[in-house]
Structure 1
Amino acid sequence: MDSISNFIPTPESIPPARTARSLSLNFSGKQLAVNYHPLNPLLFLLKAARVYPDKVALVHPETPYPRSFTFLVWAQRVQNFAYGLVKRGIRAGDRVAVIAPNSPMIADACHGIIAARGVATFINIRLTTAEVEYIIEHSGCKLILVDREFAGLVKNCMVDTVVCDDSGHANDPYEAFLSDGRRYSRERGWGGLDVEVDENAPATLCYTSGTTGRPKGVLCTLRGTYLAAVANAFEGQMNKDSVYLWLLPMFHAAGWTYPWAATFAFSSQVTLRTVDYPAIWKHFTQSGVTHYCAAPTVQIGIVNDPQARALQRSITAIIAGAAPTASLLGKLEEKGFKAVHVYGLTETYGPFTKSYEQDSWRSLTLEGRSKIIARQGHNFANAEDIRVVQLDLQDGKLVDVPQDGKAVGEIVTRGNIVMQEYFHDPEATRKAFTGGYFHSGDLAVWHADGSVAVVDRSKDIIISGGENASSLAIEQELSSHPDVLEVSVVARQHLKWGERAMAFVKLHPERASRWADRPEEFAADLKAHAKSRLPGFACPEWVLIVNELPKTSTGKILKTELRKRAAKL
């Protein structure tokens, strides 16, 4: 990854001479045991600045003001950031809101807020003003850092605010904030900051999408963030030669801890403000990109973009956020991507399971292999074993379902990379931790090899004539139809069977003209396709072609909206 040669950082971004020798943390002045140091993900950046000070760490290209920073310069900017927070009165445990697309400011914040012992509160840029105001109030944020494009979201918030023009120029208010921090530091360096000594102190506060009610604040610790980042770097096989392209928003579950996974691995990072498919393909072919993370809806856009082609070298495509279809996984493999399917939630720091490749898969067809990769798999590095359970109503204990690939239960887990709590919501925390495990809300089966496969969210199961039909399983099969780009299935009332499946389909743009003015014929064709692959009770009774599927601010399909639409038909 080459740097942007004509960009010159502000003078305050340039570290003093011999800085690399003093990149160490002062853990609140405490004398620690010789065999112990608190797990803090900030350590990764400082080590990278010591070991590879001149390596390009962060590149921000697709913008009117492109720029790049080496690890040493970036570490100085993060230090300035931390002192800037301290100067503005941020103390241990204070929440600092960040509202920005993928850009240097939010990347700085991932490290700088921790360095000042604050709690990084990432807020989704796609929320409404009312939703943002609720999160600001609920979290009790003491300071807001906001990208200029989204400043209107906080115009009514009576909280100290720093606006970023995303320019890197000295007259940018955000750059002024960093320069102010450098002056306030009086060159005391990292040793002048009291870094948190308690590794179980909160590091991030991320809010769930709130599709069924008010969003809940997920509080995660320094220790958990550290361990989850190491796990992500290991499971993704990232190293100093890796180039990570930011398509997953950093505001979503703190970027699944990849802001720290990349620094742990000494990897370069490329930030894109928006999901721009031509720009993505340009970086795939010209910027040495080796890794990226994205939800299935973005992956679908990548493989179906007009510029999509067979890759000259493999790129690791990490998929999570929703269950990928076997069809999508197959298309990624055909283009030369190495599809790595992981599964997790905001409450688990992002991924905590992975579908681990097996030698036996080599003898399978592409479709057969893709169906197995689509399973959620086994527990991650640094994650405790997962279980699929049912709750015994008599004694309240969790009972494992048989590992037969048929019995359905709920995925639960516990251990290093489970959230600390729901912020200011002890009742929701208690409910989520019933039986001493975190309850995901995802229904799954447990296979004989110990791998798990999600069959549905508990609220999305279709009960037809007394049979349980998985909307995800139906979607898997419908998506294999060559003319289907995206599909979502929900339950719709049926006079005879109680419920039947209804499919909302977005057609592939290159094939949509085939079915223009013939929606009934397409519905019949898709139903015939389904009958060859699904039991009768699971086949869709209704098929509706749509231009777009409604999605949450994080790209998940809003089945709540589709259910409302189906109920009106």
Structure 2
Amino acid sequence: MTAAAQAAFRPTQESIPPSNAELTLRIPDGVHINLHPLIYPNKLALAHADVPHPVFYTYAVWAQRVQNLAYALIHAGIEPGDRIAVIAPNSPMIADALQAVCAARCILTTINIRLTKQEVDYILEHSGAKILFVDHEYVHLAKGAKAKVIVCRDTGLPSDPYEQFLSSGRHLSRERGWGGLVMDADENKPCSLNYTSGTTGRPKGVLTTLRGTYLAAVANAYETQMDRYSSYLWVLPMFHAAGWTYPWACTFAFATQVTIRTVDAGLIWKHLLHSRVTHYCGAPTVEIAIVNHPDARSLGHPVTAIIAGAAPTAHLISELEKKGIKPVHVYGLTETYGPITRGYPQDSWANLPPEERNKLAARQGHAFATSHPTRVVYPPGDHPSHASPDILVDVPKDGKTIGEIAMAGNIVTSGYYKDPEATKRAFRGGWFSSGDLAVWYPDGSIAIQDRSKDIIISGGENASSLAIEQELATYPDILEVSVVAREHPKWGERPMAFVQLRPEAVKKWAGRHKEFAASLQEHVKERLPGFARPEWVTIVDELPKTSTGKILKTSLRRMAKEMAKL
């Protein structure tokens, strides 16, 4: 992303705002609210450099493009509350759409590019999307769609069909500008409709509101100390839970957004080293690829890595810090707009040994300032005082008793779209039931033990696969590890570990996998009780993952089941 490339780029004529442009939406009659125009119109807002036709948009130009999209949507027949959809990797089109839906007062569904055609068809049908924007690489997923389909070639050129759609919006606006667009008077109106992964059945549509989106975005900017000097690299897909509301966190902070179409550690290091990137989000698997890449080195400027999707190991936290990357460990779900808790560093950790300090940093911590404090409660029927399933009883804050994480407040979904029964089940007792199991500590912090379906019950003892993984990851030759339950004739279940070795250790253990397994089991003998030690260890070339870098334990459980039959 060179200065020369930025200087050479010219946006389409319709993307350039008039010199006297007003940059705020019109306030509805009867609503008393203060608005302000853009403060840094000439700041670089969006950089998309690693494509055949690089584009660079300042905030003033990008605001005009978002305005053009809003007008184009309205003139295409989109009314308040209507749904539109986007199938695209990280690129200007999806970034535009996430901003424009607020101006057009419609609802955006961002669709995972890794889904099957059948899954995409279901989401389009269920959401009732009227317009579908699709990136040129994924037009096969749009085939047969009932919605009007607009293809983007990701060029930024006037001949691009997407650019022509934006140009039509500028023409149809009759230069009324932002003043011709009216903000929604009801802050509880839906903003986005994000579909869950659907690993346990049909994906559910999670509704977010304008109010929740704003407060989640403000929280993300605050918790990561993002400001107008920041540059955010889009490693996390924007299609995942609307990018955890970071699209709006960046615009709130006037940060620069750098988009890359694929998660490539080499490309990430290119921008870390040469584009002054200061922030990015990524799952631990992505962070592992980053710290182990040949280009990895200590950075000369501060970088914050927002980590979620799984708990980072103490070793990973240490490796990131060696590179000058500050880990900010957060936790959340699609139903909580992405992150809702953070592991807050404590002054008392300063003199602790690094491994002990990093284990504490790997906790999920406390709730964001814009959320209600998180609870850990007994599952229904697990406590004698349960008069009914709708009465929530807190587990003791002893750091030992396992319960389910429950959330409430500003940044929790308003419910599942067209699914009142699922909404009722999720909102048991007036709180959102996460399905994640955790312990609660005396200081109020929480630490996830597992998803309820990932707990390994061995001889009547509950073993946390996450806790086992944390200990196995301390073995120096392991790059990544994941643990699942496998059927056992005596104990019911026992842990099975799937291990990816570090590149330099692959040759060391070639043809000696049984010796590696014995060595690993010996390594954790003093770290784990007998029922939690892996009974089986399998070395794999790589672990199966989702598009956001989460390890697919469903696939590993199937593999373990097949192996048990042999």
TM-score, structure 1 normalization: 0.96
Residue of 430, 443, 461 corresponding to 1:467: 461
Structure 1 residue 424 and structure 2 residue 426: aligned? Answer: no
Counterpart of 1:544 in structure 2 is: 538
Deviations 1:216-248 (A, max 9, x none): 110000000000000000000001101111100
Structure 1 residue 128 and structure 2 residue 127: aligned? Answer: no
| Counterpart Cα distance in 1 of 2:228 and 2:547 | 32
In the TM superposition, 1:525-536 aligns within 5 A as 525-536=519-530
Aligned residues: 555
Deviations 1:362-408 (A, max 9, x none): 11122111101110000012011000001354333111101010000
Residue of 157, 164, 168 corresponding to 1:176: 164
| Counterpart Cα distance in 2 of 1:333 and 1:17 | 46
1:279 is displaced (CA, Å) by 1.4
Counterpart of 1:66 in structure 2 is: 54
| Counterpart Cα distance in 1 of 2:299 and 2:489 | 51
Counterpart of 2:339 in structure 1 is: 351
| Counterpart Cα distance in 1 of 2:138 and 2:352 | 48
Deviations 1:408-444 (A, max 9, x none): 0000010100001101010000000000000110000
1:5 is displaced (CA, Å) by 1.2
Structure 1 residue 408 and structure 2 residue 402: aligned? Answer: yes
Note if contact 1:290-1:315 (Cα within 8 Å) is conserved in structure 2: yes
| Counterpart Cα distance in 2 of 1:417 and 1:57 | 26
Deviations 1:313-364 (A, max 9, x none): 2210110112222221121112211000000000000000000011111111
Alignment-mate amino acid for residue 528 of structure 1: E
Structure 1 residue 456 and structure 2 residue 488: aligned? Answer: no
Counterpart of 1:395 in structure 2 is: 388
Residue of 80, 89, 98 corresponding to 2:86: 98
Report the 3-state secondary structure (helix = DSSP H, G, I; strand = E; otherwise coil) of the residue aligned with 1:504.
strand
| Counterpart Cα distance in 2 of 1:505 and 1:394 | 44
Structure 1 residue 110 and structure 2 residue 112: aligned? Answer: no
Residue of 296, 313, 336 corresponding to 2:301: 313
| Counterpart Cα distance in 2 of 1:332 and 1:109 | 33
Counterpart of 1:4 in structure 2 is: 6
Note if contact 1:209-1:553 (Cα within 8 Å) is conserved in structure 2: no
1:4 is displaced (CA, Å) by 1.0
Structure 1 residue 196 and structure 2 residue 184: aligned? Answer: yes
| Counterpart Cα distance in 1 of 2:388 and 2:425 | 16
| Counterpart Cα distance in 1 of 2:531 and 2:267 | 44
| Counterpart Cα distance in 2 of 1:332 and 1:291 | 13
Alignment-mate amino acid for residue 447 of structure 1: Y
Counterpart of 1:481 in structure 2 is: 475
Deviations 1:495-531 (A, max 9, x none): 1211110001111112111101111011011111111
| Counterpart Cα distance in 1 of 2:149 and 2:119 | 18
| Counterpart Cα distance in 1 of 2:414 and 2:388 | 26
Alignment-mate amino acid for residue 26 of structure 1: R
Residue of 145, 151, 169 corresponding to 2:133: 145
Counterpart of 1:339 in structure 2 is: 327
Alignment-mate amino acid for residue 526 of structure 1: L
Report the 3-state secondary structure (helix = DSSP H, G, I; strand = E; otherwise coil) of the residue aligned with 2:503.
coil
Residue of 208, 214, 219 corresponding to 1:220: 208
TM-score, structure 2 normalization: 0.96
Note if contact 1:95-1:143 (Cα within 8 Å) is conserved in structure 2: yes
- State the 4+ residue runs in structure 1 displaced beyond 6 angstroms: none
Note if contact 1:239-1:266 (Cα within 8 Å) is conserved in structure 2: yes
Counterpart of 1:14 in structure 2 is: 16
Structure 2: 5+ residue runs without aligned partners? none
Note if contact 1:388-1:401 (Cα within 8 Å) is conserved in structure 2: yes
Report the 3-state secondary structure (helix = DSSP H, G, I; strand = E; otherwise coil) of the residue aligned with 1:310.
coil
In the TM superposition, 1:375-386 aligns within 5 A as 375-386=363-374
Counterpart of 2:107 in structure 1 is: 119
Structure 1 residue 499 and structure 2 residue 501: aligned? Answer: no
Alignment-mate amino acid for residue 49 of structure 2: P
Note if contact 1:209-1:552 (Cα within 8 Å) is conserved in structure 2: no
Note if contact 1:30-1:197 (Cα within 8 Å) is conserved in structure 2: no
Report the 3-state secondary structure (helix = DSSP H, G, I; strand = E; otherwise coil) of the residue aligned with 1:525.
helix
Alignment-mate amino acid for residue 532 of structure 2: A
Identical counterparts, % of pairs: 63
Counterpart of 1:40 in structure 2 is: none
Alignment-mate amino acid for residue 24 of structure 1: T
Report the 3-state secondary structure (helix = DSSP H, G, I; strand = E; otherwise coil) of the residue aligned with 1:528.
helix
1:556 is displaced (CA, Å) by 1.6
Alignment-mate amino acid for residue 25 of structure 2: L
Structure 1 residue 185 and structure 2 residue 178: aligned? Answer: no
Report the 3-state secondary structure (helix = DSSP H, G, I; strand = E; otherwise coil) of the residue aligned with 2:7.
coil
Residue of 338, 361, 368 corresponding to 2:356: 368
| Counterpart Cα distance in 2 of 1:331 and 1:31 | 55
Note if contact 1:324-1:374 (Cα within 8 Å) is conserved in structure 2: yes
In the TM superposition, 1:545-560 aligns within 5 A as 545-560=539-554
In the TM superposition, 1:500-519 aligns within 5 A as 500-519=494-513
Alignment-mate amino acid for residue 469 of structure 2: E
Counterpart of 1:280 in structure 2 is: 268
Counterpart of 1:23 in structure 2 is: 23
| Counterpart Cα distance in 2 of 1:318 and 1:85 | 33
RMSD of Structure 2 on Structure 1 (CA) = 1.2
1:102 is displaced (CA, Å) by 0.6
Note if contact 2:48-2:56 (Cα within 8 Å) is conserved in structure 1: yes
| Counterpart Cα distance in 2 of 1:272 and 1:174 | 19
Alignment-mate amino acid for residue 358 of structure 1: Q
Note if contact 1:203-1:220 (Cα within 8 Å) is conserved in structure 2: yes
Note if contact 1:361-1:369 (Cα within 8 Å) is conserved in structure 2: yes
Note if contact 2:25-2:103 (Cα within 8 Å) is conserved in structure 1: no
In the TM superposition, 1:205-354 aligns within 5 A as 205-354=193-342
Alignment-mate amino acid for residue 261 of structure 2: R
Note if contact 1:91-1:118 (Cα within 8 Å) is conserved in structure 2: yes
| Counterpart Cα distance in 2 of 1:285 and 1:554 | 23
1:544 is displaced (CA, Å) by 0.3
Structure 1 residue 83 and structure 2 residue 71: aligned? Answer: yes
| Counterpart Cα distance in 1 of 2:39 and 2:302 | 27
1:149 is displaced (CA, Å) by 0.6
Alignment-mate amino acid for residue 504 of structure 2: E
1:195 is displaced (CA, Å) by 2.4
Report the 3-state secondary structure (helix = DSSP H, G, I; strand = E; otherwise coil) of the residue aligned with 2:507.
helix
Note if contact 1:114-1:120 (Cα within 8 Å) is conserved in structure 2: no
Q: Which deviates the most, 308-317 or 546-555?
A: 546-555
| Counterpart Cα distance in 1 of 2:411 and 2:323 | 33
